[in-house]
Amino acid sequence: MKNKEDIIFVCSSCGEEYLRWQGKCDVCNEWNTLKEFKVKSERSKTKSANVNIPAPEIVELNKIKITNFRRHTTKISEFDRVLGSGIVPGSIILLGGDPGIGKSTLLLQVANNLDDVLYVSGEESPQQIKIRFDRLGLVSSSLKIFTETNVDSIITNVLNSRPNLVIIDSIQTMYSEDFPSTPGSIVQVRECAMKLQSLAKTTGISIILVGHVTKEGEVAGPRILEHLVDVVLYLEGNSQNTRILRGQKNRFGATDEIGIFEMTETGLAGIANPSKLFLSERLKNVPGSCITATVEGTRALLVEVQALTTTTNFGFPQRRSEGYNLNRLQLIIAVIQKRTGLNPSNQDVFVNIAGGIKIRETAVDLAVALAIVSSIKNQAIPANLCVFGELGLSGEIRNVTFQAKRQAEAERLGFGQFPKSKNILAVIKEVLNV
């Protein structure tokens, strides 16, 4: 007798389910995102998937006792920094990043530094993992490899072996026999993640999920995947060997913390002095270059803001930015034109944050503005100048948070000059003498 199947429609954007197709998702308001899937009814689900995950109990909060609780320290300082000093027992972590960025390499290094780790691979054979493990020069006597994509089989083995940490590489290769759709589909990714989340919360075993990313830079699969996990990390990089581990969500620590690594022949190595790295290839006395201090999490970093302006060959000038918000750049150019008397409307403006780091705070507005003016005037900014401040629409320079921390980091690296004026026109006259 054939198993009875139900047809549901799942939104590819948010994961919401519907019994009938409709053009617009009522939850995320996206159009044409509902996809048809066949799922087995509750009565006909396979018995092979019936793993014995302990059932949770109702307990009073004041009767919960925390004994011998400590995070799993990976001994990789930059990784622990982003997590909030280590992996919390029973937590589930999602690590995303572009193909080849170093996700598996980083997790092999993490597994090597911890005791009793189960590495589940749905993409590589044990021999392939061993080759990479040896190439990195790692030595571990407790790391176990399990090549499987059936999530129910994985859960059964985890319950039998009880490791301290499980690494799933990757969640898009996992599938459950309860849902007859291909691995990587919206339903499979969501349901497999929910099963693994239940496993982590009921047993206290930490789980790290590796997630593929889309061309937009987000983890592939339903949006609910990021809501299920406790921590969401993204590993970013550029054409150089620098890698940045950024926390997007963290229930146990700061959400704006970053870890900075350098890709070497032996894996990812944490960088103790990232400010010096970002400024290592800087050319002094070049127009369009300005040093600023940004704060990421608990650390202050010095980065170089580069601007290039050229006379436009078309009626509409180009505006391009790398590592900085394009809409914010448009606003700064408008303030420059209105409040300084300069006319960048006939100039193509290109802004780049050197080193591949992405800056989201408004404290670098003043540095961007000065870099653009410096390029337009073809006049270099003093080599020992460091600027930071938010630029208002009236041209005023507003104070930013952690000013003392930013100034201390700048002075530590030899940048002892700071502008004193409080509006953009006065700062330009003070810095560039124009």
Q: What is the CATH number of the domain that holds 349?
A: 3.30.230.10
Note whether 241 and 323 are same-domain residues.
no
Note whether 389 and 329 are same-domain residues.
yes
Q: How far is 135 from 109, CA to CA, in rounded Å?
A: 12
Tally Cβ neighbours within 10 Å of residue 150. 17
The helix/strand/coil state of 227 is: helix
Identify the pLDDT of residue 217.
Answer: 64
In a domain, 158, yes or no: yes
Note whether 267 and 352 are same-domain residues.
no
Q: Out of 5-9, 155-159, 335-339, which region has the weakest mean confidence (pLDDT)?
A: 5-9
Note whether 185 and 126 are same-domain residues.
yes
Note whether 287 and 251 are same-domain residues.
no
Note whether 302 and 253 are same-domain residues.
no
- How far is residue 39 CA from its own chain's centroid? 33
Identify the pLDDT of residue 305.
Answer: 97
Angle CA 403–409–253, to nearest 5: 75
Tally Cβ neighbours within 10 Å of residue 167. 26
In a domain, 86, yes or no: yes
Q: Return the bridge partners of 249, or none.
A: 232
Q: Which domain holds residue 217?
A: 73-272
In a domain, 67, yes or no: no
Note whether 135 and 264 are same-domain residues.
yes
Q: Are 187 and 10 in contact (CB under 8 A)?
A: yes
Identify the pLDDT of residue 2.
Answer: 44
CATH number at residue 137: 3.40.50.300
User: Does 52 score more than 90 pLDDT?
Assistant: no
The confidence band for 190, taking pLDDT boundaries of 50, 70 and 90, is: confident
Note whether 297 and 400 are same-domain residues.
yes
End-of-domain residue from the set 211, 237, 272: 272
Query: E-strand spans in 51-205?
Result: 92-97, 117-121, 143-147, 165-169
The confidence band for 407, taking pLDDT boundaries of 50, 70 and 90, is: very high
Mean pLDDT of 410-434: 92
The confidence band for 49, taking pLDDT boundaries of 50, 70 and 90, is: very low
Note whether 117 and 83 are same-domain residues.
yes
End-of-domain residue from the set 272, 305, 331: 272
The confidence band for 277, taking pLDDT boundaries of 50, 70 and 90, is: confident
**What is the model's pTM?**
0.77
Report how many domains make up the chain.
3
In a domain, 51, yes or no: no
CA torsion sign for 428, 335, 320, 299 is positive
Q: For tokens 């159009």, what's the residue?
A: 31
In a domain, 223, yes or no: yes
Note whether 306 and 259 are same-domain residues.
no
* Torsion, Cα of 288, 289, 292, 296 (10° steps): 100
In a domain, 55, yes or no: no
Identify the pLDDT of residue 368.
Answer: 97
Note whether 248 and 286 are same-domain residues.
no
In a domain, 115, yes or no: yes
End-of-domain residue from the set 220, 250, 272: 272
Note whether 30 and 107 are same-domain residues.
no
In a domain, 180, yes or no: yes
